[in-house]
A = this chain, B = another copy of it.
Amino acid sequence: MHWKERASIEKITIKEIAELAGVNKATVSRVLNGNANISARTRDKVMEIVKRHNYVPNALAKGLASNRTYTVGFCYDYTEKQAVSNPFFQTVLQGVEDVVYARNFLFLMMSMQRDQLAHSSFAKVVTERRIDGVLVPTQLFTEATHRLLRQEGMPFVVVGEPMISQPDVHWVDIDNVQASEKLTRRLLDQGLGDVRIVYDEADKVRDKFVLDRIEGYKRAMGASRLKPREATLPQVEEAFVGEAETVPQALIFSTESLLFDWLDTAASYPQAHSIRLATFDRSPFHRHMKYAVEAIEIELEAMGTEAADMLFALIDKNELAQPYIKIPSK
């Protein structure tokens, strides 16, 4: 059995339905698409046949005729092999899926390596018009990406606040300032005074959320009239070799990977065990880790649903109520 025959198994078309119902193709099409001007009688007759023969529209033909694919894309970073396994990623994805499937759309995942736009499946999908819109994580939203999207007239929403904001770029993110402020306050409320925030130099330049988390931390510290102290991981470690430095009571890691890096080295310092650890994005692994980790629930799933909703607004009406959305932590 060749694929050509295989693919035509039992697939009834709109034309055959029309013949069976004794009406025209166009009429069937109208019934199927809920067109208003149809007599109840013909509608029922057509629907009966549709049901009985288990008619399923051909998505390709429909797309070709209507210039729509009924598919949205989700682009993910393939540079870091762990991107997909990232709980962050997958929770957002879940929110997206709920919305996408509720709309009866499909969902095309595309990988893209940073700085490899030209050969990515992302570029291919966009230029071939296999999607009606796309969600792009902020890490992948470069100048080149933006240019391609705009040039192709492809609706898009950035997931995560882009570093440089532009008027025609719509995005959704959690409110990192608020989340960080809240997390910091939670530690302070536990009686800890010397709370510091740890960041990575490279991240700080590239990721807006790192800046925001530092900012939120500062606000909470300021509100308690405490001196904020931000540091890179190496700087924190100096506290254990130098003598003048005091050991912090708690460390807030601006990213989870920093926390992991810390765990790798902390074992060398006995004093490190008493430090309270905190980060964002609670993960199911936390409770199995060497030390207890304080984490704040951030609304990742909501981020996915909001992003998808924005994208559909763009696809449907080509306009947005708000240019961007910040989701506060509860």
Contact = CB atoms under 8 A, between A and B. Distances in A.
A61 B65 CA distance: 9
Nearest to A120: B101
Contacts of A10: 151
A289 B289 contact: yes
Interface residues of A, number: 65
Nearest to A88: B85
A146 interface: no
Nearest to A130: B59
A89 to B, nearest CB: 7
A124 B86 CA distance: 27
A225 interface: no
Interface string A52-76: 0000111111011001110000000
Contact of A90 (B82, B108, B130): B82
A289 B287 contact: no
Interface stretch (A1-9, A157-165, A185-193, A235-243): A1-9
Contacts of A247: none
Nearest to A110: B107
Contacts of A288: 260, 263-264, 285, 289-290
Given A56-B127, A67-B8, A318 B85 contact: no
A307 to B, nearest CB: 17
Contacts of A155: 3
B59 A129 contact: yes
A97 interface: yes
A86 B113 CA distance: 21
Given A7-B153, A60-B130, A97-B111, A106 B81 contact: no
Given A85-B91, A104-B124, A288-B290, 17 more contacts: A3-B67, A3-B132, A7-B129, A56-B127, A56-B128, A58-B64, A59-B129, A82-B87, A84-B90, A85-B90, A106-B108, A106-B125, A260-B288, A263-B288, A264-B287, A285-B285, A290-B290
13 contacts: A3-B132, A3-B315, A6-B153, A58-B128, A59-B130, A84-B93, A84-B94, A101-B121, A107-B110, A107-B111, A109-B109, A285-B288, A290-B290
